């Protein structure tokens, strides 16, 4: 009996403590990394459970069709993460399809009723909760209060303001946005009835695509007019290589009065010192309701191959907690998805909180389906031809739709 007791004591002493591995896509020298580090340290302090924070390139995690990612290979070898993210929710369908992600039961989600329904639903695939939402982002209209005292309430008013503040020879513009980005231009097609896949009646219908319908064409033609006829946007904004950096740089330098951009640029906008405001994109001409932007949920995934599912689920709940989400909001600019965080003074007392909350509530989450990966390249190419007026809008969008259908059909 003594020998057995001693053996038991020795086994407990020599048993290695569990260390959970958390993969993130921010480098140690990034401005965001310390926030993730503080979240991991807070969890260790609270539970005594060690967390190894591992920085990996974006491409190591991003799904690539049928090609295995470094994430998948690491999981198969037993060296993968216990949890990873936050990553865009529309990736989670591929993780679920490939059996990389652990499915959640509602009882495993702490404070389940505090999550925004739109955020939880965006992280579902095949009627299963395959990720835990942490933050959301979407686009809105930034405006420089030194140039515009109050935001436009109609599209025509926005165009009139932009024309009065556009002076190309001085590199000063009334409006800036990445013109060839499908994500950014989506409100223009939604406002007239365009869409990616029909998703308003249950699961998204791959066979019902609205990228080249009448509304999508009309919205893209409006963009083309603003750029080619009205000349309200700088040429670099129609250059895929420069459009994102240039649009932000114009606004933060005080050279663009308005900017259509996402909540992820809040940090550089604040750092620029520009006295800014945020408003919804106004209703398009001949419409009454403001157009709906796309939105993306940033989600945490628990590995289906973790050796410590209980501990990994607990860590994921900690990462998605209001306290952690608010830490990430401060450095990342993305909006919390839990009611406690939205009501907190850290968020609710910021001047633009109401606009972001309302924008997210009425946004269109990206379809959470692997097939979405086939959409971006053909659609982006169509915009590259149509917006500068190189190809008629209908022809460019028709060609993109046919390309997407071909990719969906497979070889």
Residue 406 predicted with pLDDT over 50:
yes
pLDDT at 42: 97
Same domain, 112 and 54: yes
pLDDT at 16: 64
Same domain, 272 and 402: yes
- Number of compact structural domains in the chain: 2
Residue 325 predicted with pLDDT over 50:
yes
Residue 7 predicted with pLDDT over 50:
no
Same domain, 114 and 26: yes
DSSP secondary structure, 204-266, as one string? -EEEEE-TTSHHHHHHHHHHHIIIIIS--S-GGGG-TTTHHHHHHHHHHTT-EEEEEEEGGGH
Same domain, 204 and 275: yes
395 falls within a domain? yes
Give pLDDT tens digits for 335-346: 999 999 999 998
DSSP secondary structure, 59-95, as one string? HHHS-BTTBPPHHHHHHHHT-S-SEEEEEEGGGHHHH
> Residues near 256 by Cβ (< 8 Å), separated by ≥ 6?
144, 172, 173, 174, 175, 176, 247, 250
pLDDT band per the 50, 70, 90 thresholds, residue 6: very low
Same domain, 36 and 118: yes
pLDDT band per the 50, 70, 90 thresholds, residue 402: very high
pLDDT at 201: 63
What is the rounded CA–CA span in Å between residue 143 and residue 274? 9
Mean pLDDT over the full length of the chain: 92
Instruction: Compute the average pLDDT of residues 15-37.
Output: 92
What is the rounded CA–CA span in Å between residue 143 and residue 280? 11
Instruction: Compute the average pLDDT of residues 383-406.
Output: 97
1 falls within a domain? no
Give pLDDT tens digits for 206-245: 889 999 999 999 999 999 999 999 999 999 999 999 999 9
pLDDT at 409: 87
What is the rounded CA–CA span in Å between residue 297 and residue 295? 7
10 falls within a domain? no
CATH number of the domain that residue 248 is part of: 3.40.190.10
Give pLDDT tens digits for 249-262: 999 999 999 999 99
199 falls within a domain? yes
4 falls within a domain? no
Question: Which residue do the tokens 């939105």 mark?
Answer: 295
Same domain, 175 and 111: no
Same domain, 132 and 143: no
Residues of the domain holding 330: 16-136+296-365
Long-range contact list for 153-158, CB < 8 A, 24+ apart? 153/282, 154/282, 154/283, 155/282, 155/283, 155/284, 155/285, 156/285, 157/282, 158/258, 158/282
Give pLDDT tens digits for 123-170: 999 889 999 999 999 999 999 999 999 999 999 999 999 999 999 999
What is the rounded CA–CA span in Å between residue 151 and residue 177? 16
Same domain, 25 and 142: no
8 falls within a domain? no
Is residue 10 packed enough to be buried (19+ CB in 10 Å), middle (13-18) or exposed (0-12)? Answer: exposed
248 falls within a domain? yes
What is the rounded CA–CA span in Å between residue 158 and residue 156? 5
User: The tokens of 36 are what?
Assistant: 């993730």
Give pLDDT tens digits for 290-308: 999 999 999 999 999 999 9
Same domain, 59 and 125: yes
């Amino acid at each position: 009996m003594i020998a057995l007791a001693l053996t038991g004591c020795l086994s407990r002493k020599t048993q290695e403590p569990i260390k959970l591995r958390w993969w993130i896509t921010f480098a140690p020298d990034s401005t965001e990394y310390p926030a993730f580090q503080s979240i991991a340290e807070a969890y260790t302090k609270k539970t005594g459970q060690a967390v190894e924070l591992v920085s990996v390139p974006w491409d190591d995690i991003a799904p690539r069709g049928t090609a295995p990612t470094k994430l998948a290979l690491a999981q198969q070898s037993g060296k993968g993460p216990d949890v990873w993210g936050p990553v865009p929710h529309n990736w989670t369908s591929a993780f679920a399809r490939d059996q990389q992600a652990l499915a959640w039961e509602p009882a495993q989600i702490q404070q389940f009723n505090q999550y925004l329904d739109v955020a939880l639903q965006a992280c579902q695939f095949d009627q299963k909760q395959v990720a835990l939402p942490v933050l959301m982002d979407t686009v809105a209209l930034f405006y420089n209060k030194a140039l515009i005292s109050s935001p436009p309430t109609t599209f025509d008013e926005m165009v009139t303001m932009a024309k009065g503040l556009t002076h190309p020879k001085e590199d000063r513009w009334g409006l800036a946005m990445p013109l060839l980005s499908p994500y950014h231009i989506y409100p223009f097609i939604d406002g007239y009835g365009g869409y990616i896949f029909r998703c308003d009646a249950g699961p998204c219908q791959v066979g019902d695509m609205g990228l080249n319908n009448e509304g999508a064409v009309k919205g893209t033609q409006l963009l083309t007019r603003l750029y080619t006829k009205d000349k309200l946007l700088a040429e670099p904004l129609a250059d895929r290589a420069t459009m994102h950096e240039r649009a932000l740089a114009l606004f933060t330098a005080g050279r663009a009065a308005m900017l259509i951009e996402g909540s992820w640029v809040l940090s550089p906008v604040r750092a620029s010192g520009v006295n800014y405001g945020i408003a919804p994109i106004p209703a398009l001409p001949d419409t009454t309701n403001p157009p709906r932007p796309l939105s993306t949920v940033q989600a945490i995934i628990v590995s289906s191959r973790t050796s410590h599912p209980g501990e990994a689920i607990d860590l994921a709940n900690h990462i998605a907690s209001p306290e952690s989400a608010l830490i990430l909001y401060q450095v990342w600019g993305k909006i919390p998805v839990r009611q406690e965080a939205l009501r907190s003074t850290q968020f609710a007392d910021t001047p633009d909180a109401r606009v972001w909350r309302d924008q997210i509530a009425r946004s269109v989450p990206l379809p959470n389906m692997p097939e979405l990966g086939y959409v971006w390249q053909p659609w982006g190419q169509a915009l590259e031809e149509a917006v500068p007026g190189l190809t008629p809008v209908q022809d460019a969008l028709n060609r993109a739709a046919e390309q997407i259908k071909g990719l969906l059909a497979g070889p």
